[in-house]
Amino acid sequence: MTEFFAQNGTTLVWMAGIVGLFMAWGVGANDVANAMGTSVGAGALTIKQAIIIAMIFEFTGAFLAGGEVTATIREGIINSALMVDKPDLLALGMISSLLAAGIWLLIASKFGWPVSTTHTIVGAIVGFSAIGIGIEVVHWSKVGTIVASWVVSPLLAGTLSFLIIQSVRKLIFETNDPMKAAKKYVPVYMFVTGFVLALVTVFKGLKHVGIHLSSLESVAIATGVGLSVAVTGIFFISKIKVVKHENKNYHFASVERVFGILMITTACGMAFSHGSNDVANAIGPLAAVVSIVAQGGVISAKSQLPTWILLVGAMGIVFGLVTYGHKVMATIGKKITELTPSRGFAAELAGSTTVVIASSTGLPVSTTHTLVGAVLGVGLARGIAALDLTVLRSIVISWIITLPAGGLLSILFFYILKSIFIG
């Protein structure tokens, strides 16, 4: 077995790196809608502005906080104890999974379908493992936990977004002076957003770049970041004045401009949390291949995550969103329900918080499910009639197709690679 990796190791790493980059491109092209679609749909950001913000924060999230979830993708789905004598098959299977997932995401992005990258890669890994190697090598209890998160995450995000938009109504829109109330409470929402994102960065992310902080230091830094975001927000909000003519058709138009500024904050947060969570879908299998090759076929339960792998994932995501991201944005941002900046903010903060919590605990939730759940929660706050059920039905169908598509493509590529390298 050592001889197999001595002969083919370099080729396998290069192949894994290329298809890992391709898969990361697919994550950026498809899942960017989860980070930016609500902001664009609500009119708070143009597509160009959204892409610039996402480039910065997707990369930062993927590079700083992406390693935590990567461990779950890499080690949780396959029962590595049963693969000790089959490292060659595991390496080929992971490459097959990345290629399968990348191709499916390319197809989905072309048609504007907001599918789950987590669904895609998990389906691909389970597919090649169960059919190509043996049903017993799949760690079904871990897969069950991940599947449960596909239900839990949209429910949690939907509940959070519902509660947030209701708090916005009570504290701001249903007061005698909504603009005055907005200037009072929106900075509080900005503080919460900055605090949550900074906390997960210092708790989970900075250790990947060699910085270790105590819990007290982490909370202190997060508080400082939250206050900085709030103070910056207060400055920009103070510049907004009530313009009577813009309130003619919609009474709260001027107040919504305050939320437009808040949405920029939550858009940054959603991009960061999305990068930190979904980069694992691309680099988890890549990290597994690199680890096996580096150790001459030894499958270790824990292995160091090289910085260059995080860079491959982060750069791939950015390239994907720049080249193809706009195609899926419209579905999340405009077609499920009508979004205003206040509604978009509630959805983004709820989605971002859910993903950050999941990322910090190592659970690879689907950001697609999370954001759709959050947008649904906002829509339901206005009643079922505010939702476009036809669009929702097509989204759910695309989700159902994703699992078998990833699995079948992965099985096909696995047998092709196996015949080439092993015979």
Distance CA 212, CA 346 (A): 32
Domains: count for the chain? 1
DSSP bridge pairs for 78: 138
User: Which residues have C-beta within 8 Å of that of residue 377, sequence separation ≥ 6?
Assistant: 157, 158, 159, 160, 161, 162, 165, 346, 347, 350
Helix axes 341-360, 67-75, angle to 10 degrees: 60
Q: Which two tokens stand for residue 392?
A: 């929702």
**Per-residue buried b or exposed e for 92-130, using 16+ beta carbons within 10 Å of the residue's own CB:** bbbbbbbbbbbbbbbebbeebbbbbbbbbbbbbbbbbbb
Nearest Cα neighbor of 62 from 366, 273, 344 is 273
Distance CA 393, CA 61 (A): 31
Do residues 58 and 275 lie in contact, with contact meaning Cβ atoms separated by under 8 Å? yes
Give the domain range for residue 219: 2-421
Distance CA 261, CA 190 (A): 10
Residue 260: which H helix or E strand, with range? helix 253-294
Do residues 30 and 115 lie in contact, with contact meaning Cβ atoms separated by under 8 Å? yes
- pLDDT 10s per residue in the chain (423 long)? 678 888 888 999 999 999 999 999 998 888 776 667 888 888 888 888 888 888 888 888 777 766 555 555 545 677 777 777 888 888 999 999 999 999 999 998 888 788 888 888 888 999 998 998 888 888 887 777 777 777 788 888 999 999 999 999 899 888 888 888 888 998 998 898 888 777 766 665 555 555 667 778 888 988 998 999 899 888 888 887 777 666 655 557 778 888 888 788 777 877 777 777 677 778 888 888 888 888 887 776 555 677 888 888 888 888 888 888 777 777 776 777 778 888 888 888 888 788 777 766 766 677 778 888 888 888 888 877 777 788 888 877 887 888 889 999 999 999 999 999 987
Total count of residues recorded for the chain:
423
State how far the alpha carbon of 9 is from the alpha carbons of 2, 301, 412, in Å: 10, 20, 22
- For residue 202, how many other CB atoms are within 10 A of its CB? 22
In this predicted structure, what is the pLDDT of residue 103? 96
State how far the alpha carbon of 253 is from the alpha carbons of 231, 235, 340, 348, in Å: 23, 20, 9, 20
For the chain, give the longest Cα–Cα distance: 77
Do residues 313 and 25 lie in contact, with contact meaning Cβ atoms separated by under 8 Å? no
